[in-house]
Chain A
Amino acid sequence: MRKVAITGMGAISAAGIGVDALWLAARDGVSAVGPLDITRGQSLRVRVAASVKDFDPASHAPADVMRRCDRFTQFAHVAAAEAIAQSGLGADEIAGPRTAAIIGTGIGGMNTLDDGCFDFYSGVKRVDPLSVPKLIPSAATSHISITHRITGPCFSVTSACSSASQSIGIAAMLIRSGAIDRAVVGGSEACITAATLRAWEMMRVLSPDVCRPFSAGRTGIVIGEGAGVFVLEAEDLALARGAKVLARLAGYGTTSDARDIIQPDVDGAANAMSAALADAGLAPAAIGYVNAHGTGTVLNDINEAAALRQVFGEGVGELPVSSSKPVIGHTLGAAGALELAITVRALEAQVVPAHINFKAPDAKCPLNLPTAGPQAHRFEAALSNSFAFGGINAALIVSRPE
């Protein structure tokens, strides 16, 4: 069967623009969480977020093009441009029916929706005439299709916090099947609006200050935003054109708990990881690093720790695990992509990124967390987890190129 190579990566996050900024912040554990700065947010009680700061869309594409895009599409545009440039694929190579574009998102154009609803309910009759095409969850995918003349399968995957991981996974399956040769894939999210944050507050999963995954005294997530995009290619075609392979996308597993819309399930999470291992043809011992979903909520972290133990057995005591969410926040539908980009860079650098904000061990989360800072580590393959509200789980495995 065809193998799948990653030949390009792009990112925009609270850590800045580009995969380099993302990787350095994640590696060293430099948190990009800061004070909340949004319109109409005066009544919010939680005052922190991991926002993309000082973003000027017009410096990345013509202003009239960017005006027709919601913030989540603008993020996807920036990340896709970086990924495609790194892949070395020419404009005529990325174009055409043998390429797919699949950009996952949890919500879609939330800023457009929020502004439009606010205006309309406030009595403004002239709402943005492009509200509908801007806010549809497939807008980022369509924008990338149009920008790069990609005419193959284009759609968006939406499965809350598993959206990006499932987008990447389904694209890998399409490449292996022979349906396509390459894909521009990932996830994008931009939903830091006042009403959205109030809805999160009501769930009580927002931390009022700091995200502390797997730690005693943890108080929840900090919301982030951004986009991560990859160029995936059939490995034989990538090698034939002399492309540099960053990593092989070796395995993908996805499951649904089929139980509860909020409460996570150990078996569902564990089965997604096991399915990814089986897909990659790897034994659990072959995994040398796990970039955890690690949200910092009470329930996720207990569940994920138990699922990791179920999959890796006693070996989990030796397996380095870290979460990038204290650094870039929980980027929801973009999380699986941004965190996979960190995982690929970790694999390239042979470094386990730092696990920060840890106060004290929680007996329910007995994991090997690099709390002292980044660690040099020899490993051949790594796992990235995404678990979503609704019970949809996705796990991706990357391995070093041969």
Chain B
Amino acid sequence: MTDEDTRGPAPTTWPQLDDPDMIERIIKVIVEEGKVERDKIAPEATLQTLGLESIEVVMVLMGLEEEFDTYIPMSSDLSEARNLSELISVIVASMQSEPAAPTSGG
């Protein structure tokens, strides 16, 4: 990235979540769907260091949607996540911001 980044340094630890098990569940999906070695998973890891191609990222997102019964759009925040810690923060935020689905109308 050559443009100015006003976000400060990228995080080096996992985000603090209300549900601490969530990180492990997300990591499990990344390992299985992305065919990534578990030892390579770290907060500072990037898609590049994990060797994740775009099709594998799609598989990971599909796996996460099934695991958590949610929808994760390709948002500008997601596309700008600098490492795994930020990526997980964005994914968790997008799950929690999902609007209440209308229950009628089939």
Contact = CB atoms under 8 A, between A and B. Distances in A.
Interface in A121-165: none
Nearest to B78: A298
B99 interface: yes
A206 B65 CA distance: 14
Contacts of B79: 298
Interface string A276-290: 000000000000000
B54 to A, nearest CB: 9
A47 B73 contact: no
Nearest to B6: A363
A208 interface: yes
Interface string B45-77: 000000000000010011001000011111111
A95 to B, nearest CB: 43
B20 interface: no
Give chain A's interface residue range (CB within 8 Å of chain B). Answer: 20 to 34
Given A36-B105, A42-B106, A364-B3, A207 B76 contact: no
A65 interface: no
B73 A207 contact: yes
A47 B102 contact: yes
B18 interface: no
A217 B71 contact: no
**B: interface residue count bin:** 20 to 34
A364 B70 CA distance: 28
B105 A219 contact: no
B106 A220 contact: no
Interface stretch (A197-205, A224-232, A391-399): A197-205
A206 B106 CA distance: 19
A39 interface: yes
A36 B102 contact: yes
B98 interface: yes
A171 to B, nearest CB: 35
A338 B5 CA distance: 38
B62 to A, nearest CB: 7
A364 B76 CA distance: 10
Nearest to A37: B105
A204 B105 contact: no
Nearest to A206: B73
Most chain-A Cβ atoms within 10 A of its Cβ — which of B58, B70, B94, B106?
B106
Contact of B73 (A36, A220, A363): A220
Contacts of B70: 45
B61 A47 contact: no
B102 A219 contact: no
A47 B101 CA distance: 6
A91 interface: no
B21 interface: no
A35 B76 CA distance: 24
A241 interface: no
Contact of B106 (A39, A45, A205, A219): A39
A220 B71 contact: no
B4 interface: yes
B106 A38 contact: yes
Interface of B: 3-4, 58, 61-62, 65, 70-79, 94, 98-99, 101-102, 105-106
10 contacts: A35-B102, A38-B106, A39-B106, A45-B65, A208-B71, A208-B73, A217-B77, A219-B94, A220-B75, A298-B76
Given A37-B106, A47-B101, A208-B73, 4 more contacts: A38-B106, A41-B106, A47-B102, A363-B4
